[in-house]
Structure 1
Amino acid sequence: MRTSYHDIKAIVLDRIRKDVWPPGANLPGEIELAQEFGCARATVNRAMRELVHEGVLERKRKAGTRVKSSPSRKAEFAIPLIREEIERTGAAYRYVLVDRQVIPAPGWLQAQINIPRHQKVLHLRCMHYADSHGYQLEDRWINLAAVPDAENETFADVGPNEWLVRKVPFTEGELVFSALNATREIADFLNAAAGDALFTVERTTWLNALSVTYARLYFARGYKMTSRL
């Protein structure tokens, strides 16, 4: 039976758990492991690379591969679709475009996502409802230099996040989580009182060196985010 890289990962993890290779221990070389497992060196290499990516092993030039002294896990965050999140709760999803305008990027946004002065951006505000209750207010800015097709999209029927996820790739993202005190306007959208602390996500994405979008997502009171590591 052919040994796969999944098999090798499982064996390595089992040996680490059993202290055959304790924290800080150097692993045998890829050629030696390939001979032991009866597989190609490339198969061992893939298993090692994945375990490095997952924070179990570390590799250094000329020092080989060893078990990390303090194993870590790299969090991977998929951009969620709010429609799917709401529907999973059993509620009916409803989307409303509040306003849409193409304007020169304000100064604070130029600094936030590193775009030139007078660069055109699309500014959208949208509401997402669970049944009749406000669930999320989306305040989004799209860099039209990165996503020119967005200028001709009305976003009357589909939210910008869902449209971007399906249409535009990204290579890097940044998430900032905070509790912000609601202004009177934000509070009205989310059935809160002015000054209430609302869970807020700021999300920026880039395509290589070009910023794609910056969004502030305000959630109704009681919202909980769950993520797996």
Structure 2
Amino acid sequence: MRRILERIWLPGDMIPNEIDLAEEFGCARATVNRAMRALAEEGLLERRRKAGTRVALNPIRKATLEIPITRLEVEQRGWAWRHSVLERAETLPPVSVASRLGLSDDVEMLHVRSLHYADNHPFLYEDRWVNLSEVAAIRDVNLQAIDANEWLVQNTPLTKGDISFSAANATKQEAELLQTSEGEAIFVIDRTTWNGDIPVTIVRLAYTPGYRMHTEI
């Protein structure tokens, strides 16, 4: 990485093979392979079978995204957090939810709608579906005492996810809950999380107007 960042190895340059690097650094070839794989995953190297490894011409800079706990996000901004469960039901999911998760639409899921507050002002409207076949334990959780977001982060393995960000016009329901005007621009996150190949939850997060998201690269 130092040689790449200091431009000793320039973009597009072929780098030494694993055998030569293992000899230079006095380590096993498997160790070099793991290092190369890690740099490739970071977008700094391009590896092609039988064609060698080159420094990426256009290095990818990846943003670090975590699943935030809403309570902590609000409190870290200096506000008092609370939430209210608007709906909790074990019911059949709409086709759009079932198909996105690859589940049958005749299997009941847990549907939870919640409103999060910051200093008693609406902060986030959360519309969530949970795969009960994977997270049956949530049936016994008091989601008024701990919200679904925090409980899932703390108690359920999440190995991968799909996240989309968008601007949207607040629906009538969202406008009423977020205390804004229907059609007002709001920030929306649609997120699906998985444990291996098994879907865990799908959620739509609609934030109050003016919300800003910060991440790092």
TM-score by length of 1: 0.88
Q: Does 1:37 align with 2:25?
A: yes
Shift of residue 88, structure 1, vs aligned partner: 1.2
User: What is the DSSP-based 3-state SS (H/G/I as helix, E as strand, rest coil) of the residue aligned with 1:228?
Assistant: coil
Report matched runs for 1:78-117 at 5 Å.
78-117=66-105
- 2:125 corresponds to 1:125: no
Aligned CA-pair RMSD: 1.6
Q: Does 2:158 match 1:154?
A: no
**Which residue in 2 is equivalent to 1:178?**
166
2:4 aligned partner: 13
Q: What amino acid maps onto 1:25 in structure 2?
A: D
Please state whether the residue corresponding to 1:224 is helix, strand or coil: coil
Deviation at 1:133, TM superposition (A): 0.9
> Residue 34 of structure 1: CA displacement?
2.7
Q: Which runs of 4+ in 1 moved over 6 A?
A: none
The residue aligned with 1:5 is none
How many residue pairs get matched? 217
1:79 and 1:117 mapped to 2: Cα distance?
Answer: 27
Quote how far apart the aligned CAs of 1:127 are. 1.3
Paired with 1:183 and 1:28, the residues of 2 have a C-alpha distance of 57
Identity of aligned residues (%): 43
Contact 1:57 1:67 in 2 (8 A): yes
Deviation at 1:154, TM superposition (A): 2.7
- Contact 1:53–1:74 (CA<8 Å) still a contact in 2? no
Measured after TM superposition, the shift of residue 96 of structure 1 is 1.6
Paired position in structure 2 for 1:4: none
Give distance in 2, aligned partners of 1:170 and 1:85: 19
After TM superposition, give the deviation of residue 50 of structure 1 in Å.
Answer: 1.7
Does residue 138 of structure 1 match 2:126?
yes
What SS is found at the alignment partner of 1:150?
Answer: helix
Cα deviation, 1:63-94, whole Å, max 9, x if unaligned, reads 22111111112334211111111111111111
* Corresponding residue of 1:193: 181
C-alpha separation in 2, matches of 1:223 and 1:45: 43
Unaligned runs of 5+ in 2: none
The 1-side partners of 2:164 and 2:9 are apart by 37
**8 Å contact from structure 1 (residues 95, 157) kept in 2:** no
- C-alpha separation between the residues in 1 aligned to 2:89 and 2:41? 42
Distance 1:186 1:171 in 2: 30
Q: Check the 8 A contact 2:80/2:119 in 1, yes or no.
A: yes
The secondary structure found in structure 2 opposite 1:156 is: coil
Check the 8 A contact 2:4/2:10 in 1, yes or no.
no
Question: Tell me, what secondary structure is at the counterpart of 2:60?
Answer: coil
**TM-score, normalising length: structure 2:** 0.92
Deviation, structure 1 residue 165: 0.8
Asked whether 1:22 is paired with 2:13, we answer no
Q: Which amino acid aligns with 1:153?
A: V
